[in-house]
Structure 1
Amino acid sequence: MTKTILAKKHTVNQIKKIMHPLVKEWFFSRFEKFSLTQQYGVLNIWNKKNILISAPTGSSKTLTAFLSILNRLVILAEKDELEDRIYAVYTSPLKALSNDIHKNLIEPLQEINALAEKKGIKLQDIRVGLRTGDTTSAERAKMVRKPPHIFVTTPESLAIVLTTKKFVENLKNIEFCIVDEIHAMDNKRGTYLSLTLERLNEINKKFPVKIGLSATVEPIEEVAEYLVGNARNREVMYIRVPLNKKIDVDVLTPVNNLIEGKDLSKNLYDLLSKLIKENKTTLIFTNTRSATERVVSYLKDKFPTEYGDDNIAAHHSSLSKQHRFDIEERLRKGKLKVVVCSTSLELGIDIGYIDLVIMIGSPKSSSRALQRLGRAGHKLHETARGKFIVLDRDDLVECSVIQKEMIEKKINKIRFPSNCLDVLSQQIFGMAIYKIWKIDEIFSLIRKSYCFKDLTKNDDKRLMDVSKKARKQMIKEYKEGTRDRFEITKKANETIRERSIERFKKGYTR
C-alpha cells in the first residue's frame, strides 16, 4: 500500500534559493560546497517529502537531515513566529549518539545567532532538548513547562513521553521526525519503535515528515516502508547515495596455530599493544561489557608504564552519564590513545579522528563490521583501517567471510521482526495509559505499523483477552491485600510474556 519512489538529485542553485541568508552564510563559512547527500536530501525534506537516505559513514547524513529544519526554524525566529512547541523529533538508538547530536545542534545555532547579532538581526531563541534515561526529573519537568523546538531522544524515551498527557500536548504539531541509524533497528527494538512512530502519527494533526538515516542497507525499499508504515496514500522516497569509501581490513591471529597454540591470552595483549603503539588513536570493539573491562584492566596491569587512566578508557552503557561524556569528549579532543567499548560507540557518533579500529571476535555480520570500521577515517574520502583479531577457528572462518563480503561490498539483508506479541503487549499498556481506545481503533493503528501489517483480528483479540484477564486478577489480588503493586506489575508482565511465548511456539508469530 505504501508507495516507494527513487529520490532525485537537485542542483546547488535550487537548494540555495530556499536557504535563509544567515543559514547560507553559516553553511558556506564551514563547508566549501553541498555534498552529494545534501543534493539528494535537503530540498526534498524542505518540500515535506518522506525520505530514507542510505550512505556511508562520514557522508554528512545528519547535517542533511537537520539543514532544512534549522532553515525553517531560523525563518520563523526572524519573523517572531516561533511557537512554544516541538517542531522536530530526532530519535537514535544510542544515548551516546543522542548526546552527540545535541552538542552538534547547539554549536551551529550559537554560530548562527552570533552572525545575526553581528548583522543586527533579532532572532527568537531556538531551543534544543535532550531526553534519555540519563535525564533528571528536574530537566524533564522543565521540558514540559517550556518545550524545546528540537527534541532529541531515544526510541524508549519517546514511547514513555507518549504516555504523559502533559508532554503529549507539545507533540501534536510536529513537522519533522528523524530516525537515525535505522539499519540498527532490525530487532525487537525496531519493532517497538515502529509502533511508537504510529502512536506519534496518531496524536498529530498532520502526518510528520519522516526522515530516515542509514548506513549502506539492503533491501532499501523495505526499510523505507518500515520508516513510514503501511497505509493508503503514504509515499516515501529513498536514495542509495552513490559514494565509495575505501577500506583496508585484515584478519589477524595472536598465534600461528589456533588449535595447538599456547599462551593465547598473553599473545593477544602483546598484539593489541603492538597495534596501539603503531597508531595515534585506536578504538577496540569487544562483544560484551565484561570483555571491555577485562581488556582495559589487562592492558593496564601488563603494561603499567604505557597505559593508565590518562590515555586508556572503557566505554559502555553501564557507566554513569558523566563518565561516558568525559570519555567521549577526551576521545574527540585526541587526549586518549585507546578506547575499548562493547557496542556503545558503534553507531554514527562523531568521536574525532580514529586511526585504527580493532574488532576482537566476530561482529556477526558485514553490515555491523562496516559500521564499526566506519569509526576510523570518519571523513568520507579517508581510508577506513581495521583489524579482526580471532581467537578460535569459528571466528577465523566467520571473520574471513565477513572480510570478503566487505571488500566485495556485499551487504547482508536486514529483516524487521513481525507480529511480536510481547512487544505489542507492552505498547498496548502504554497506549491504555494515555487514553481509552475502541478495539477497532487500536487494531487499525497497530496494522499501520510495518512490523504488524499482517496481524489478524484474532491475534489481537486473544492478546487483549490475556491482558484483560491478567489485569482483573491482579487488581482483585491487590484489593484483597495478597500482593503489593510491584508484584502485580511483575506478575502481569510474566503472564503476558508466557502466553506470547506459548503462541510463538504454536506459530502465531513470525
Structure 2
Amino acid sequence: MGTSTDFARHWFSARDWKPFAFQKQVWAAVKRGESGLLHASTGAGKTYAVWFAALNRFARSGLAAETTRKRPPPAEPLTVLWITPMRALAADTARALQTPLDDLQIPWSVGLRTGDTGSSERARQNRRLPTALITTPESLTLMLARADAQTALSTLRMVVVDEWHELLGNKRGVQLQLALARLRRWHPGLIVWGVSATLGNQSHAEQVLIPQGSGVSVQGQSEKTLRVDTLLPPQIERFPWAGHIGLKMLPQVVAELDVCASSLVFTNTRAQSEIWYQALLGARPDWAGLIALHHSSLSRETRDWVEQALKNGQLKAVVCTSSLDLGVDFLPVERVLQIGSAKGVARLMQRAGRSGHAPGRTSRVTLVPTHSLELIEAAAARDAVAQRRIEPRLSPQKPLDVLVQHLVSMALGGGFLPEDLYEEVRGAWAYRDLTLAEWAWALAFVRHGGMSLTAYPDYRRVEPDEQGVWRVPDARLARRHRMSIGTIVSEASIHLKFWSKGGGGKQLGSVEEGFIARLKPGDGFLFAGRLLELVRVENMTAYVKRSTAKKAAVPRWNGGRMPLSSELAEAVVARFSAAAHGEFAGPEMQALRPLLETQMRWSGLPTVNNLLAEVLKSREGWHLFLYPFAGRQVHLGLASLLAWRVSQRLPVTFSIAVNDYGLELLSATPVDWSVQLDGALLSPEDLLKDVLASLNAGELALRRFREIARIAGLVFAGYPGAPKSTRQVQASSGLFFEVFKQYDADNLLLAQAGEEVLREELDIRRLEQTLERINRMKLDMHLIKRPTPLGFPLLVERMRESMSSERLADRIRRMVGDLEKTADKGQS
C-alpha cells in the first residue's frame, strides 16, 4: 500500500467488496479537487464514497512509521469537517469513519463537537482539533465566533455536508451557507461535498451548496428497491374521522411485529408514539425489555441506549418519530411500519430506507391507516414512490434575522471590515441579491439596534475600533450571544426529573412548558412509556414520581400536524379520478370501494379535471364543502379568503374547518353558493391584499416575530440554570413588535415576519397555484341531504374545537350510526 490513493481499493478488496461506479466517480472528482453533490438511496454506500475520497486525497499511511518506532505517529491536523444536521447522527458517523482508520492504520483522529460534547473534550479540542471533526451547523458557527477561528481552521481542506436535504430548506441551512462562505474566503480551494438521499430538485440543492457553479453531480448507481404495502383494517368505516390514533389496528400491528426480528414503528407525533408504545406493551407484556421508545424529548442517555441496542440487534421493535428519520445505520432492522399517513413522498422514502439498510437490500415499509381515507393515501403513496415524485426543497431567501446573528458572530470571530464581509456574505446563495441598503440596515441594527433602540446599551452589540474593524466590545454581550447562536426556536422546555428528597433525581427528558402549565400536582401523564404523576415545578424543572392512576394525559408537543404535500395530493386525486371511472386497482381501493360508492351515490368524487363542491342545509345552518386537495395550510388560507370575499358581498359570518382534502364554511344565514361560487370569488387576483385582510395577520406576524426576535438576538432566553419562561420571552418579543410597529415601521425584521407568515404558515405560493388550478377546473356542485364520507371528517374537525373529547366521541358515534343505517339502505 505505497500511495495514499490505494486506501479505498485495499479496504474494499479486504472485504471482498466491489466499489460502485458512483463511489469511483466521487473518488476521482475529489482527487481532481472538485466539489459536488452525491445523491444516492439510503444505505447505498454514500458515507464511504465521500470518506474514502478524502482519505485517498489527503491521508498518508501509518504503516511505515509503525515499523520504525513503537508509538503510532501523531494524528494529522484538522483536514475534514463533517457537518451533520442531527446530534444523534454524530456518534454513529464517528464509528463509521473510525473503522477504516483502524483497519488501515491511518494516523487520523475523529472527534465530535455538538451540543452534547462535554467541557473536557471541548477544552482538549481547543488545544488541538482532530483530523476529522463531526459537528452541526450551530457548533460550526460557534467555532467561527472564536477570536482564533482562522488559525484553528487553517489546515482545513474539505467539508462534507451529510443529509443536505434536511438543511437545504430552512434557516439552519442558511446559517451553514454563511459559515461555508467564510471558510471559502479563508480557503479558496476548499472542497465541499453534499450527501443526500431524497431530493426532488437536485440542481437547486447543488447550486445552493456550491454557489460558484463549478460542482459535480453524482447519482447513485440505481434506485433502491422500496416495497410499500398496507395493513387493511378488518372493517372499513364509511364515515371516517381523524384522531383515532389507529389503535383499532393494534392486533394486526402486533402480528406483523411478531414475525420480524427487528422493526421500527414510525408515528408522526411524540404524543402518538407514547400512546402506541404503551398499547404494544399492554398487548404483549412479554415484550417488556424487547421494545423501546425513541423521540427527541427523551433524555440523550435514553436515546443513545436505544440506538445502540437497535444496532446490536437486541430490540424487537422501537416506536419512534422523525428522531430516527435520518442516517443512523440500523442494519438489523427488517421492516418499517408507518402509523398514519406520512403526508409526503420524501418522508416516506426516508423512513422506508431505515430497513434493509445496505446496498442491494430491499427496504420495506408497511402503512397502517388510522382511518379509512388513509387507505387511498396509502395507495397514492405507493404510486408516487414508484414514480419517484419527490417534493422539492427550496432555500430561504435573505432571512435578515440569520444575517444579524451572523454579523455579531463574525465580530466575535476576530472582527470584520464591512466592505469585505458584504462580499463574503453575498457568496452565500441565500444572500446573493442582498442590497447595499439591506446591508446598511443590518449593520445599523447590530451597532445600535436601529432607529428605535439606540438608547439601550444591550443593543449596541458591535462597534468599529480605531482601525475600522467591527468587534463586540462588551464581554457580557459576547457571552450572551454565544449562548444564543442557532436558528432552532421552539417553545421553552421543562426538564423532567424523578423526585427525590436529596435532589439529583434521574433526568427523563423534557416537555413543553405549556403542557406542564395545564397540570396541577397529583395529575398523571404518560412520558417515556411510563405513567407519571406531577409532584412540583421548580426552576423550569418538573419533578415527577411513578403513578398508579388509570387515567393520564399525554403531552402535546408543537409541530404535530404536517400538511399533505403537493406531490402526494396529486397522486391521491389521481386515485379518486380512477375510482370515478370505475377503476379500483389494488387491495386498498378494493377495501375502500363501499366508502367511495357511497360518496358517488350521495354526491360525486373529486377528479383531476373537476372541483367537487357540496352544499348542505342542516340544523346548524348552511354548509359549503369544497375539496381542492391542497393541504391543511393552504385550505386555511383559502377558507379565510373565500369567507372574507363573500362577506364583502353579503352580511354573513362563517365558521371554518379545514383538513388536508378540503374545507367547510358554515353560516347561520342562507348563502346561495351556486351564485356566489363564481370566477371572481376563486380568482388569484389581489390575492395578497385579500388574504392579509381576511386573516388576523397581525397575530400571525407577532407569533412569527417571536422566533425572528430570538434568532436576531433581540430576546435573550436566559442563562443555564436560570432560563426565562415562555411567557417572559413572548412578552419581551411582543413589546419589541409593538415598538417597531409604532416607532420603526420600516424595520426589516417586521417585514420579514410578514413574509414568513405568507410563505411558511399560509404557503401563499401554493395557494396562488391552487387558485390558478381551480380556475381551470369544472365546478361539480352537489346539493346533498346529509354529510358524505368526504364531508364528515370536516364536520368533526369543527366540532372538535368546541367539545370535550368524551362528548365529541359520543356525538360522533350517534352521527355515524345514523349515516351508516342510511347508507345500508342504499339511499342517495
Scaled by the length of structure 2, the TM-score of the pair is 0.53
In the TM superposition, residue 18 of structure 1 has moved relative to its aligned partner by 6.6
Residues 379, 22 of structure 1: alpha-carbon distance in 2 compared, 3 angstrom cutoff: closer
Matched residue, 1:103: 95
1:61 aligns with 2:46: yes
Distance 2:459 2:216 in 1: 52
Distance 2:9 2:336 in 1: 36
Distance 1:78 1:496 in 2: 63
Distance 2:337 2:329 in 1: 18
Aligned with 2:350: secondary structure? helix
Matched residue, 1:222: 204
Residues 392, 468 of structure 1: alpha-carbon distance in 2 compared, 3 angstrom cutoff: farther
Residues 264, 351 of structure 1: alpha-carbon distance in 2 compared, 3 angstrom cutoff: closer
Distance 1:442 1:294 in 2: 51
1:36 aligns with 2:7: no
In the TM superposition, residue 368 of structure 1 has moved relative to its aligned partner by 1.7
Bigger shift: residues 67-76 or 348-357: 67-76
1:277 aligns with 2:525: no
Residues 477, 148 of structure 1: alpha-carbon distance in 2 compared, 3 angstrom cutoff: closer
Matched residue, 2:135: 153
Distance 1:502 1:406 in 2: 40
1:320 aligns with 2:299: yes
Q: Counterpart amino acid of 1:197?
A: L
Distance 1:452 1:443 in 2: 10
Matched residue, 2:751: 503
Distance 1:218 1:87 in 2: 31
In the TM superposition, residue 442 of structure 1 has moved relative to its aligned partner by 2.2
Distance 1:405 1:259 in 2: 25
Distance 2:346 2:459 in 1: 49
1:133 aligns with 2:112: no
In the TM superposition, residue 131 of structure 1 has moved relative to its aligned partner by 0.8
Matched residue, 1:91: 83
User: Do 1:22 and 1:112's aligned partners in 2 also have CA atoms closer than 8 Å?
Assistant: yes
Distance 2:143 2:133 in 1: 11
In the TM superposition, residue 416 of structure 1 has moved relative to its aligned partner by 1.3
1:199 aligns with 2:182: yes
In the TM superposition, residue 21 of structure 1 has moved relative to its aligned partner by 4.8
Task: Spell out, residue by residue over 1:341-395, the C-alpha distance to the aligned partner (whole angstroms, 9 max, x if none).
Answer: 2112211221112211111233332112111111111122222111222324665
Aligned with 1:213: secondary structure? strand
1:460 aligns with 2:682: no
Distance 2:307 2:143 in 1: 27
User: Do 1:88 and 1:149's aligned partners in 2 also have CA atoms closer than 8 Å?
Assistant: yes
Residues 458, 398 of structure 1: alpha-carbon distance in 2 compared, 3 angstrom cutoff: farther
The structure carrying a bigger helix percent of its residues is 1
Residues 460, 94 of structure 1: alpha-carbon distance in 2 compared, 3 angstrom cutoff: same
Residues 158, 255 of structure 1: alpha-carbon distance in 2 compared, 3 angstrom cutoff: farther
User: Do 1:35 and 1:59's aligned partners in 2 also have CA atoms closer than 8 Å?
Assistant: no
Distance 1:146 1:352 in 2: 34
In the TM superposition, residue 137 of structure 1 has moved relative to its aligned partner by 0.9
In the TM superposition, residue 405 of structure 1 has moved relative to its aligned partner by 0.8
Identity %: 27
Q: Counterpart amino acid of 1:282?
A: S
What is the alpha-carbon root mean square deviation over aligned residues?
3.2
1:303 aligns with 2:288: no
Distance 1:364 1:473 in 2: 49
In the TM superposition, residue 103 of structure 1 has moved relative to its aligned partner by 0.7
User: Do 1:311 and 1:337's aligned partners in 2 also have CA atoms closer than 8 Å?
Assistant: yes
Aligned with 1:492: secondary structure? coil
In the TM superposition, residue 129 of structure 1 has moved relative to its aligned partner by 0.9
Task: Spell out, residue by residue over 1:21-50, the C-alpha distance to the aligned partner (whole angstroms, 9 max, x if none).
Answer: 565333311242111221221111122110
Which sections of structure 2, spanning at least 5 residues, go unmatched?
A: 66-72, 461-475, 485-709, 716-732, 741-746, 760-828
In the TM superposition, residue 170 of structure 1 has moved relative to its aligned partner by 2.2
In the TM superposition, residue 281 of structure 1 has moved relative to its aligned partner by 0.9
User: Do 1:425 and 1:496's aligned partners in 2 also have CA atoms closer than 8 Å?
Assistant: no
Task: Spell out, residue by residue over 1:413-444, the C-alpha distance to the aligned partner (whole angstroms, 9 max, x if none).
Answer: 22111111222222222122213323322221
Matched residue, 2:193: 211
Aligned with 2:174: secondary structure? helix
Residues 298, 237 of structure 1: alpha-carbon distance in 2 compared, 3 angstrom cutoff: same
Task: Spell out, residue by residue over 1:200-256, the C-alpha distance to the aligned partner (whole angstroms, 9 max, x if none).
Answer: 223x23331011111142322211111123x4xx51111223403222112445463
Which of the numbers 353, 368, 372 marks the counterpart of 1:389? 368
Residues 333, 142 of structure 1: alpha-carbon distance in 2 compared, 3 angstrom cutoff: same
Distance 1:75 1:371 in 2: 36
Structure 1 segment 35-434 matched on structure 2, within 5 A: 35-75=20-60, 77=62, 85-113=77-105, 125-185=107-167, 186-202=169-185, 204-229=186-211, 231=212, 234-252=213-231, 254=233, 256-258=235-237, 260=239, 265-305=246-286, 307-308=287-288, 310-392=289-371, 395-434=374-413
In the TM superposition, residue 84 of structure 1 has moved relative to its aligned partner by 5.3
Scaled by the length of structure 1, the TM-score of the pair is 0.84
Distance 1:200 1:24 in 2: 31
